[in-house]
Chain A
């Protein structure tokens, strides 16, 4: 092993740098592996249609809601998704640049969510209006009193937006065959090229009704996909709405 030993200080320095570079490569490789393989982008969460979605940084989202969101984003929950998210419910909020207190915002949100009044000792002093106002920079639609507010982080917000765009694009061409019963559901995989064209459409979970599967395939072949999903694999779950099934 003596030939591996550095013969001079300069060589030893170069070898150390080389090791650092290699280490960085390994780290990047691990990051790419786990970020892209283990955690694919999941969209299509099962959200009720009357929910108003507010975008906030992760650390500002109430912990309980955070858990529920994680649960909803599981593939099982996605398979059960029936509701289509409407654009009007998507609202984006950003952080204030300064004078912002995380504790104040939490306590304020807790008041809004929990109708039971809290003890005076626990409640922090009321925030100054000037401090709270800049929290809302861009509000598309004002929430009604009955509307449930769901706080999501930036990534989830983006995925919901993407889900909505994709659902709209596919729904334009989705014509379920007449007579398909309420339990009909299929899962189709679409491979998109870098230019957005369809490379492959494959039914990965059959409905048992060939006509239904074919209608789903035809819809996906005709769809013009949003740019955000180009060069990706899309798995689309088609299902029937019970109320309209004949």
Chain B
């Protein structure tokens, strides 16, 4: 009887305790739905010429991709829970408190999620050579905490510039432009034609193809301009992609895709044929799972490592120049629409294609930024050719190469750890 009483009371109490039912629901962002810019408040303790300039540069950097709206405020009161709650009510879910160190050789900062007073980051950033570089480093670290990726603040775009020498002989230069500062640097200049630059994922080496009298060879250069030949066989070697281990490489060679592997035991490099299609294969990209994306017969193909078969992922028009962004699983390429090459993006997961550009001028050789927001490409109109960057969120374009220069073949580096 006692057991019965105990059991009944227990079950009744549990039953009454669990009167709050769980309701589950899914919310998907509908196509074409509004997107919000994230408000970010930067708070400084007081005015200082150096701090003011740095804050202005930070605001410019963080707002560049138009994902954030930065507000700068000067507040002398200490950071309290009440202050953070007040800022959340004002519409600032993220607040950064920044102050110069006593010797002005570093910036001390703390980033908070104001709603639950969580400190997301607390760091000291040492002063850099330039204000832009200093700001880029701070922006990169803050962006990582807010967006979950380091952004493209410290990244570079390599491209080929063509000029004419004194004897009207064409001169080709391999150039690098810094994304945040806009500083241009010429890495290598020569009479031989250079094409298809490609950054090693760690950003320390830059590969490219160079025309010679007997072949098109694969070259590599460091950032100081010292270059050497990597593949100097017969045929044309254009297009390169590193495997995730950063040791093995696949490259295009005379319409075939080859793999290079260094054999430690034999102490020599081994080149092996990987894909031989009926068309001319070019621009190979190795995915993490071993699959390969390449261009052949005016189509973009996805070659499966498991089935050893390729299937097309591009549309019906002539397509060329694929580039892949691994974190988002998207492929960007050029496709001919009404006699004009336009930029398309293909989502590997949803298998959907989206046209990004519609205006006049051929847009070729697209490359995706490390954050996945920007696409840089070569825009050709008549005899002019320059490098443009498209913001894929807001579809705005900016030109990064000077108007008088003939530039082509852009290649974006990964986000560089400095």
Question: What is the interface of chain A, defined by CB distance below 8 A to chain B?
Answer: 4, 19, 22-23, 25-26, 28-33, 36-37, 40-44, 75, 78-79, 81-84, 162-163, 166-167, 170-171, 174-183, 191, 207-211, 214-215, 217-218, 229, 231-246
Contacts and interface: CB of A to CB of B under 8 A. Distances in A.
B30 A240 contact: no
Nearest to A225: B23
Given A33-B15, A182-B347, A233-B20, A243 B27 contact: no
Given A28-B12, A210-B120, A236-B27, A242 B19 contact: no
* Main SS at interface, chain A: mixed
16 contacts: A22-B4, A26-B7, A32-B14, A36-B15, A37-B15, A40-B23, A44-B25, A175-B35, A177-B38, A178-B66, A214-B93, A235-B22, A236-B26, A240-B29, A244-B33, A246-B392
Contacts of B417: none
Interface residues of B, number: 60
Contact of B393 (A32, A43, A179, A232): A179
Nearest to A208: B148
B129 interface: no
B352 interface: yes
Given A78-B26, A232-B20, A233-B21, A177 B11 contact: no
B229 interface: no
A26 B5 CA distance: 8
Given A78-B24, A174-B27, A181-B327, A218 B37 contact: no
Contacts of A237: 24-27
Contact of B28 (A19, A26, A240): A240
Contacts of A211: 38, 94, 146-147
Contacts of B22: 40-41, 232-235
Given A25-B8, A166-B23, A178-B36, A243 B352 contact: yes
Interface of B: 1, 4-5, 7-12, 14-16, 18-38, 65-67, 93-94, 113, 115, 120, 145-148, 327-330, 347, 349-350, 352, 354, 371-373, 392-394
A82 B31 CA distance: 12
Nearest to A44: B25
Contacts of A83: 28
A215 B94 CA distance: 11
A213 B113 CA distance: 11
Contacts of B115: 214, 217
Contacts, number: 210
A242 B350 contact: yes
A225 to B, nearest CB: 10
A111 B110 CA distance: 68
Contacts of A41: 21-23
B25 A22 contact: no
A179 B227 CA distance: 38
Nearest to B37: A178
A183 B28 contact: no
A244 B25 contact: no
Given A179-B393, A210-B113, A163 B15 contact: no
A234 B25 contact: yes
A171 B34 CA distance: 11
Contacts of A191: 20
B324 to A, nearest CB: 14
A238 B29 CA distance: 8
A183 B113 CA distance: 23
B359 to A, nearest CB: 18
Given A22-B5, A176-B35, A178-B35, A84 B352 contact: no
Nearest to A175: B36
A167 B24 contact: no
Given A36-B19, A179-B393, A234-B23, A29 B30 contact: no
Contacts of B350: 182, 242-243
A246 B393 contact: yes
A32 B352 CA distance: 48
Which among B25, B38, B66, B373 has the highest number of chain A CB atoms within 10 Å? B25
**Closest A-B pairs by Cβ, 10 of them:** A29-B11, A32-B15, A242-B350, A81-B26, A175-B36, A25-B8, A40-B22, A178-B35, A246-B393, A179-B67
Contacts of A29: 7-8, 10-12, 14-15
A234 B16 CA distance: 18
Which among A41, A43, A179, A235 has the highest number of chain B CB atoms within 10 Å? A179
Contacts of B113: 210, 214
A30 B7 CA distance: 10
A26 B8 contact: yes
Contact of A242 (B27, B93, B352): B352
Given A182-B347, A215-B36, A176 B23 contact: no
A111 B329 CA distance: 45
Contacts of A175: 34-36
Given A29-B8, A171-B27, A241-B29, 10 more contacts: A40-B23, A84-B27, A162-B23, A167-B25, A177-B67, A178-B393, A182-B330, A231-B20, A233-B23, A237-B27
A25 B31 CA distance: 53
A176 B32 CA distance: 11
A244 B16 CA distance: 45
Contacts of A218: 93
B248 to A, nearest CB: 27
